[in-house]
Chain A
Amino acid sequence: EAGVVQSPRYKIIEKKQPVAFWCNPISGHNTLYWYLQNLGQGPELLIRYENEEAVDDSQLPKDRFSAERLKGVDSTLKIQPAELGDSAVYLCASSSGTGGRIDNEQFFGPGTRLTVL
């Protein structure tokens, strides 16, 4: 079974430019997460989707960040315009989210490493 797929793996842009990241979760997983991971830190949640609904976006900087999950499957995360401080790894994760022990485990993609110059 394929894992969580993310693209691109690396992105280098100049500040003030827009950037977008794409995530394809594990087939059948209803819950999708976007995390930000700064160097030397653990992942921090940006947004969580249950199917196509964003149920927790309290940590998403909405002035420049946006996300969508079309048809409750793939998701994109966009930054416009990017700032120097946005340089980090953006991780996508998914879980089946239907309750029960095994369903609460989330699986991570490899991440997109963003460098803003």
Chain B
Amino acid sequence: GQQLNQSPQSMFIQEGEDVSMNCTSSSIFNTWLWYKQEPGEGPVLLIALYKAGELTSNGRLTAQFGITRKDSFLNISASIPSDVGIYFCAGQRGNQFYFGTGTSLTVIP
């Protein structure tokens, strides 16, 4: 199945720093979603984006739906230790979801 290209693959940052990650695809999507997965759990939806160019925030998280509909990025401001986890992007087309390869985030206190 199709997997989206997500970068960076992993990040090690100091608490309080900002984080940026992005996701690209060769295909366009109608919806972009960002999930966070913690060990032993399933992914949890963080932000959903429904329109090209849309910029949406959820607390310290901000995500944008790329103008070309082939990419999206996620920013986390002022990171805290509980931000640790793996972040996945997903593109949606109808009832089909295609996931990125994940960005592993480690926050050093």
A residues adjacent to B (C-beta < 8 A): 4, 9, 31, 33, 40-45, 48, 50, 55-56, 59, 91, 93, 95, 97, 101, 104-111, 113
Q: Which of B58-66, B68-76, B91-99 contacts A (4 or more CB under 8 A)?
A: B91-99
**Measured between alpha carbons, how far is A107 from B99 in the docked complex, in Å?**
14
Known: A101-B50, A108-B43. A42 touches B95 (CB 8 A): no
Out of B3, B40, B45, which one reaches A44, CB within 8 Å? B3
Q: Do A45 and B44 have beta carbons less than 8 Å apart?
A: no
Q: Do B95 and A31 have beta carbons less than 8 Å apart?
A: yes
Q: Do B97 and A111 have beta carbons less than 8 Å apart?
A: no
**Measured between alpha carbons, how far is A113 from B42 in the docked complex, in Å?**
11
In this complex, the member of B1, B33, B44, B95 whose beta carbon has the largest number of chain A beta carbons within 10 angstroms is B95
Does B25 count as interface, using CB distance less than 8 angstroms?
no
Q: Do B40 and A107 have beta carbons less than 8 Å apart?
A: no
**Measured between alpha carbons, how far is A12 from B96 in the docked complex, in Å?**
30
Number of residues on chain B facing chain A (CB within 8 A) = 25
**Measured between alpha carbons, how far is A109 from B42 in the docked complex, in Å?**
5
15 residue pairs from A and B, CB less than 8 Å apart: A31-B95, A41-B3, A42-B88, A42-B100, A42-B102, A43-B88, A45-B96, A93-B42, A95-B95, A101-B48, A104-B31, A104-B48, A105-B48, A110-B40, A113-B40
B residues adjacent to A (C-beta < 8 A): 1, 3-4, 6, 31, 33, 35, 40-45, 48, 50, 88, 90, 92, 95-97, 99-102
Q: Do A42 and B99 have beta carbons less than 8 Å apart?
A: yes
Q: Chain A: which residue is nearest B42 at the CB level?
A: A108
Q: Do A107 and B1 have beta carbons less than 8 Å apart?
A: no
The 9 nearest A-B residue pairs measured at CB = A108-B42, A42-B99, A44-B1, A42-B88, A43-B99, A108-B43, A59-B1, A110-B41, A109-B42
